[in-house]
Structure 1
Amino acid sequence: MSERRVQIVEVSPRDGLQNEPAELSTGDKLTLIERLVSIGAKRIEVASFVNSRRVPKMADAEAVVAGLPEAPGVEYIGLCLNERGVERAIAGSKASRRGLDQIGCVMVATDSFGIANQGQTVLQGLAANTAMIALAKTAGLSVQVTISGSFGCPFEGPVPEVRVLDIAETLAAAGADEIAFADTIGVGVPAQVTSMVKRARERLGDLPIRVHLHDTRGMGPANAWAAYEAGCRIFDSALGGLGGCPFAPNAKGNVATEELAYLFGRSGIECGIDLDAALAANRWLANTMGKALPSRVGLAGDFIPSQSREHA
């Protein structure tokens, strides 16, 4: 990927909605996905195949996958937490006209958070993810793994960087096609992100690295820039800055897609997202959810309004 280009992975249909009070219909979720395609998103996390009793907002995962728009050039991702989830994702993908392109797995960096989130310790998580990677690849799907709590745990506090990097190296050896470092509760600062990305690039070689940033304490865009300067070129974000983990106290929204589009665009870095279209999609989603969304760029708009550009 070019030094002046980054890739956005849009996670609003999954991470953005899973912890929200509003109940979006399957039809609204599919409209959201269509709008994300229209703003330029090329990778979209569309659903998670998890226990519907624990995450009821994701109960329609199969129905969402069944209705995915064709969208040539777009890659659809299904999140899974265990082998049963991977089996469901594979079956749902085969039964749909379009299907999934990639399985997203989750590995938690601490025992306490891992037990709360998935009912397993770090060692159990490594074994589970190894099996999930193998199962997904047998079905012809690529696999990425997100290491949750990479910069801090809601129960254990700071997480040693070397532990996270050791986990990443083990997952890479198991066959992961991409590794993400997630600031799940939004506690990371740029110095941490810089160090993690630099060390990961040293240890993982050419394996693609992604960051998944939450903006709980207002550090999201700053952390994204730190990751970029350290060599990361793939970023998760959610339209409107929605998001949060149901099993992590005080986990607020993802860094907003509009804010990354503004950050990178005004820095001369191509991200593929049309900011004007993203702002329009923000307004649609806010109206659909019945509330203003957290994104500051979504509220303030672009620095140069589109009508001024037309007459410049």
Structure 2
Amino acid sequence: MTTGLPMTVADPSLPARVRIHEVGARDGLQNEKTAVPTAVKAEFVRRLAAAGLDTVEATSFVHPKWVPQLADAEELFPLVRDLPVRLPVLVPNERGLDRALALGAREIAVFASATESFAKANLNRTVDEALALFAPTVTRAIEAGLKVRGYLSMCFGDPWEGAVPIEQVVRVTKALAEMGCDELSLGDTIGVATPGHVQALLTALNEAGVPTSRIAVHFHDTYGQALSNTLAALRHGVTTVDASAGGLGGCPYAKSATGNLATEDLVWMLDGLGIETGVDLAALTATSGWMAEQLGRPSPSRTVRALSHKE
């Protein structure tokens, strides 16, 4: 029998607080085979916010042809935009930015790649062509007073190219930083990172002038390494971690990508380490259980499964 809460043994060498950047409503749902009803998505965002997550990525203003599961961005965002939390949205270009601005979005994210193969598959451009595409979008967003996050995919491995050289990741990360992105999310898109690799990349970024305070991490759990990689990042001083409620998600352009780090699994670990998140684990678990019912399948999150079967 489990109590529903881990024993807390604090580690003073770790950050006192971590901000969880919840991606379940966007990254988590974009890979679903069938579109989730808009009303269900809106309720999902509301429940995530009510569980104490102060950053909930709401949707993506990409062309419906590329991500049909999020074709309802214009309908969804007005249903949640007044919630008292941060609601970033993904935009691929200036047209996407126009759509986001028209609905009152206050935070956006752009999505770059550390590898040429994924840039071609995801954006039909080279890495540098994609960066050139983002530059005016980022500039306009900053001029409009928006916060801008830069996602960087394939930071640790690529299904076509294999291991990704650290200096290659550093170059593209620096380009996003110099472009004006407030925050830089390092993505292990196919889940092949290990803790030593994480530490080496973060060290290289610091040496190249990118401070840890601007870095977030985004791990997938393909090989069961997402939590150990997160802990390695925390030991380096990272305080923003991306996660997806219930472990939802993958990547429509990288078939080997499995689910994101489950938010519940992350919160269980952070609670046990005495690290504040502001998240109510019971409420979050209930939300993910509810969403699993909407999707018609059990949650892959180990913590959701464990707490849902608590006696």
- Tell me if both proteins adopt one fold, taking TM over 0.5 as the criterion: yes
Instruction: Between 258-267 and 134-143, report the one with greater CA deviation.
Output: 134-143
SS in 1 for 2:158: coil
| 1:172-214 deviations in Å (ceiling 9; x for gaps) | 1111111110001111111111122233234213652100111
**Which residue does 1:190 correspond to in 2?**
195
Show CA shifts across 1:206-263 (max 9, x none).
6521001111111111111111111111011011001011011211110000011001
Partners of 2:213 and 2:239 within 8 A in 1? no
Alignment-derived partner of residue 289 in structure 1: 295
Structure 2 residue 238 is the aligned partner of structure 1 residue 232: yes
**Structure 1 residue 177 corresponds to structure 2 residue 189:** no
**AA partner of residue 264 (structure 1):** L
User: 1:56 corresponds to which residue?
Assistant: 68
Cross-structure match for 1:16: 28
Provide the residue aligned with 2:214 in structure 1.
208
Instruction: Supply the AA of the counterpart residue of 2:299.
Output: L
Measure, in 2, the Cα distance between the counterparts of 1:277 and 1:197: 33
Aligned counterpart, 2:119: 114
User: Partner residue of 1:97?
Assistant: none
Instruction: Give the conservation status (yes or no) of the 8 Å contact 1:262–1:302.
Output: no
- RMSD between aligned residues: 1.7
Give the distance between the partners of 1:148 and 1:81, measured in 2 at CA: 14
- Partners of 1:197 and 1:8 in 2: CA distance: 19
- Aligned equivalent of 2:10: none
Structure 1 gaps, min length 5? 94-99, 308-312
AA partner of residue 129 (structure 2):
Q
Any idea what SS the aligned residue of 1:75 has? coil
Which secondary structure does the structure 2 equivalent of 1:76 belong to? Answer: coil
Confirm whether residue 39 of structure 1 aligns to residue 51 of structure 2: yes
Q: Percent identity?
A: 39
Are 2:50 and 1:25 equivalent residues in the alignment? no
**Aligned-pair CA distance for 1:169:** 1.3
Letter in 1 for 2:282: D
- TM-score norm. by structure 2 comes to 0.91
Q: Is the 1:149–1:182 contact (alpha carbons within 8 Å) kept by the matching residues of 2?
A: yes
Does residue 246 in structure 1 map to residue 252 in structure 2?
Answer: yes
Structure 2: runs of 5+ lacking an equivalent: 1-13
CA contact (8 A) 1:34 1:69 kept: no
Aligned residue pairs, count = 297
CA contact (8 A) 1:150 1:183 kept: yes
User: 1: CA distance between counterparts of 2:94 and 2:249?
Assistant: 24
Pair 1:3–1:207, CA change in 2 (3 A): closer
Opposite residue 37 of structure 1, the aligned amino acid is A
